[in-house]
Amino acid sequence: MYYQNALDYILSFADYERWPGAGYAERWDLRRMGELLERLGSPHLARKTVHIAGSKGKGSTAAMIASALSTAGFRTGLYTSPHLHTMRERIKVDDHLITEQEFADLVAELEPEVEEQNRGKYGALSTFEILTALAFLHFHKKGADFQVLETGLGGRLDATNVTIPEVCILTSISLDHTAVLGDTISQIAAEKAGIIKSGVPVVSSPQVPEAAEVIGNVCSEKNSRLIMVGEDISWEGRESTLDKQSFEVNGLKGHYHLAIPLLGEHQLENAVTAVGALEVLDIDQAHILTGLADVNWSGRLEILRQEPLLIADGAHNGDSARRLVESLKKLFQFNQSILIIGTSADKNSMAMVAEFAPFFNWVIATSSQHPRATDPKVLAAEFAEYGVGVQITANVGQAVAEALAQAGEADIICATGSLFLIAEVIEEIKGTPGERYPSMEPK
């Protein structure tokens, strides 16, 4: 089997990342995932696991933890979603992407088991479930010591929620995927906290009171130790440049002087959360320091070019938009600010617009090629409610060209709204094409 054939096969199933509005509890049943993995020899149970849920910062936190574990000499699998440029980014071992041939060979191995499982009583597997099984199988074949897993959506019913982890992590929880997970922080927190297992330690990023209460209650019910960043672990930011930011952490097991190449104060929260989890795993301080300093995680306050500055950031809800604006004000000096925005249709774009409208001098609305992309006319109408005029472009390439044409050398351009948008911006600037897939709707 060739790589493209493998992709075509996986994408022939229900791909709920690409189809907004799909049912959650009605469609997800972990029993079919359990049966499939048992048929494969239960590869998900053969290694130590770090499991991460949350609304924001999951991927960054996962990448930092995986980097430190690899630095400590552990062969470490990392499973994240979505990807920027290729499906293979989702499955890494020690920061090496699964190869096209490895991907294709695993799909060929999985195909008969998937077909058999889909004849069972628990419903057909989805694209994400098959990818998750593929990741478990890849980590098993590579002899990984650890696997660091980011949930795809929610937590309680997520396909990754079939392991018994060494530590569970809950990053910042805010209103996101409200049509799926619930329209209150408490409801969303309850879904995210569904990854907590009996007796397994939990490390939580700072949370709003409603989320903190839910997490605390679940930990009490599960007899799980709760470590709260901001209470049990504290930190203080130090120097911040365009290359890195340094900070100090008073952890569970010592005092750390750390630096990360990721920008923004929110990344300090993610880093301190990662430190707490790594302490639970008894990773030496030197490996934590080196692992965090060497982390590689694209598309988060990433500087793509200078004069004018062009920044790409994956902010995708109101809270992350607020943090993005705060970071731009603090980190950069500029004259005029230009926004390139494109969101996903299942997101609360109005919450993002409310944060962006007072800050940016010029707005260009566009849409990625992703089938979930919001019509830019919708975004223009939302900005109009704040008295902000918007230029609309048909695609990301045109948006980047317009922004660069308008910007002076001392101005700043920020592209944001979804990871799908910034992936195309990065590809446009670097001249590297990404994978494109047909719009798949559930069978």
- Is the residue at 439 inside a domain? no
Place of tokens 């979603």: 81
CATH label of the domain that carries residue 311: 3.90.190.20
Same domain, 33 and 181: yes
What's the mean pLDDT in 66-90?
A: 97
Q: 106-119 burial by CB neighbour count: b if 16+ within 10 A, else e? A: bbeebeebbeebee
pLDDT tens-place string over residues 338-376: 999 999 887 789 999 999 999 999 999 999 988 888 999
Same domain, 334 and 421: yes
CATH label of the domain that carries residue 238: 3.40.1190.10
Listed range (16-25, 78-87, 281-290) with the worst mean pLDDT: 16-25
Helices 265-280, 58-71: crossing angle, 10 deg rounding: 50
- Is the residue at 44 inside a domain? yes
Same domain, 47 and 167: yes
The tokens describing 192, both together, are 């995210």
The tokens describing 378, both together, are 């919708």
Place of tokens 């089997």: 1
- Is the residue at 137 inside a domain? yes
The 3-state DSSP class for residue 142 equals: coil
Helices 349-356, 376-384: crossing angle, 10 deg rounding: 50
Same domain, 242 and 350: no
Query: Among 293, 312, 331, where does a domain finish?
Result: 293
Same domain, 130 and 261: yes
Same domain, 57 and 170: yes
Query: Among 250, 272, 293, where does a domain finish?
Result: 293
- Is the residue at 61 inside a domain? yes
Residue 443 confidence class, pLDDT cut points 50, 70, 90: very low
Q: Does position 26 have pLDDT exceeding 80, yes or no? A: no
- Is the residue at 437 inside a domain? no
Query: Among 275, 293, 311, where does a domain finish?
Result: 293
Cα 272 to Cα 268: distance, rounded to the nearest angstrom = 6
The tokens describing 64, both together, are 């930092």
The tokens describing 438, both together, are 């047909």
- Is the residue at 442 inside a domain? no
Note down the domain range covering 379.
Answer: 302-430
- Is the residue at 435 inside a domain? no
Same domain, 388 and 407: yes
- Is the residue at 100 inside a domain? yes
Same domain, 260 and 319: no
Task: Give the predicted TM-score (pTM) of the model.
Answer: 0.92
Please give the tally of structural domains in the chain: 2
Which range has highest mean pLDDT (64-73, 114-123, 337-346, 386-395)? 64-73
Q: Which pLDDT does position 440 carry in this prediction?
A: 46
